[in-house]
Amino acid sequence: MNDINKMICEDFPHVNGILIMQNNKVLLRENYNGFLNEDLHKVGCIFKSFISALVGIAIEENLIASLDQNFTDFFLDELPGEVDDKFFHLKLQHILTNTSGIQWPAPNEKLPDDIQALFKLPIINEPGTIFEYKPDPHIMMLLIENLTNKDFIDYANEKLMEPLGINQYIWEKCYIEDLKISMDDLIKLGILYLNKGKWKEDTLFSKNYYWESIRPQVTGGFPEKTDYGYYWWVDKHKNMDFYYASGFGGQILCVIPELNVTAVIVSRMDRPHLENKFIIRNIIELLY
């Protein structure tokens, strides 16, 4: 792993930290630019993969029977007088693959904070047909709140964060993309997936949901331009499959099942830094 560390020092000055584990052992843990192990990093859209895990947990708890269910079936008594007919074609699996077809408000505008406001949005593409990296995970947040009668963050803390031993993090519902977490805690989500939904002796979600969530469900697009599962990007290098969560600025949580490897990269959020994926490719080549 010295080669990875040297490469980052020489060619990736924007990287603030890297953590690589294989077979539950740390292969490399390095911090750069003055960061410390316990520092919380803003990880952008990696939060979506936490939501994917929570959907699996909701299925395990029988709150959701099938991802083939129509979203409107959960809210038949709450539909407004007028609702876009395409909402009745919207299935949970469409929401999990960012293919809802919903026309979301502009980035500087407020997202709907309840079901009534959500159903007032237009659907411009038939659900399940076009991938768009838009706020579809926000829909799952509203659904989980409806199913559990709990604040989303409270449910996430009780069912996912606490079981994984993640205690020091910041995740506010009103700023759901602003998840801040340490590398040591972030990698725990990768280990959970590496173990196909099991954490120690507990099963948080089923193997069936695991396999469905990390296989290519749709052809993804911007920003990673690779296949997409349930809030996980799916790719391969040197014929080796891997899947990963990514966030603006080159934040990466990667799982390489065949190598029994999980890896976290956190870096400066000044621009996309898609080049950080090159580090993942080098990890594969070193350990293959």
What pLDDT does residue 268 have? 97
Q: Evaluate whether 231 touches 210 at the Cβ level (below 8 Å).
A: no
In the chain, the percentage of residues whose pLDDT exceeds 70 is 99
**Token output for 247:** 């966030």
Res 146 pLDDT > 70: yes
The CA distances from residue 284 to 22, 46, 97, in Å, are 12, 21, 26
pLDDT in tens, 247-278: 999 999 999 999 999 999 999 999 999 999 99
Res 3 pLDDT > 80: yes
Cis amide prior to 223 (ω within 30 degrees): yes
Those residues with Cβ within 8 angstroms of residue 45's Cβ, 6 or more apart along the chain or in another chain: 177, 245, 246, 247, 248
What pLDDT does residue 188 have? 98
Lowest mean pLDDT among 106-110, 120-124, 164-168, 281-285: 106-110
pLDDT in tens, 169-220: 999 876 567 899 999 999 999 999 999 999 999 999 999 999 999 999 999 9
**Token output for 202:** 């507990």
pTM beyond 0.95: yes
The CA distances from residue 234 to 105, 113, 219, 276, in Å, are 28, 30, 10, 16
Res 80 pLDDT > 90: no
What pLDDT does residue 174 have? 65
What does the DSSP 8-state code read for residue 133? Answer: -
Lowest mean pLDDT among 31-45, 73-87, 172-186: 172-186
Those residues with Cβ within 8 angstroms of residue 247's Cβ, 6 or more apart along the chain or in another chain: 42, 43, 44, 45, 46, 47
Lowest mean pLDDT among 77-86, 88-97, 160-169: 77-86
Q: What is the chain's mean pLDDT, rounded?
A: 95
Helices 277-287 and 2-11 meet at what angle, rounded to 10? 160
Those residues with Cβ within 8 angstroms of residue 210's Cβ, 6 or more apart along the chain or in another chain: 56, 193, 196, 197
In the chain, the percentage of residues whose pLDDT exceeds 90 is 91
Considering only residues 20 and 1, tell me which one the structure prediction assigns the higher pLDDT. Answer: 20
SS3 85: helix
Q: Give strand ranges (E) for the chain.
A: 15-22, 25-31, 41-42, 169-170, 180-181, 198-199, 202-203, 227-228, 233-237, 240-247, 251-256, 261-267
> What amino acid is encoded at 92 in this protein?
L
The CA distances from residue 104 to 74, 121, 176, in Å, are 21, 7, 16
Q: Among 17, 19, 51, 8, which residue's Cα sits nearest to residue 261?
A: 19
**Token output for 257:** 């099942």
**Token output for 281:** 């490719």
Res 59 pLDDT > 70: yes
Domains defined for the chain, CATH in brackets: 2-287 (3.40.710.10)
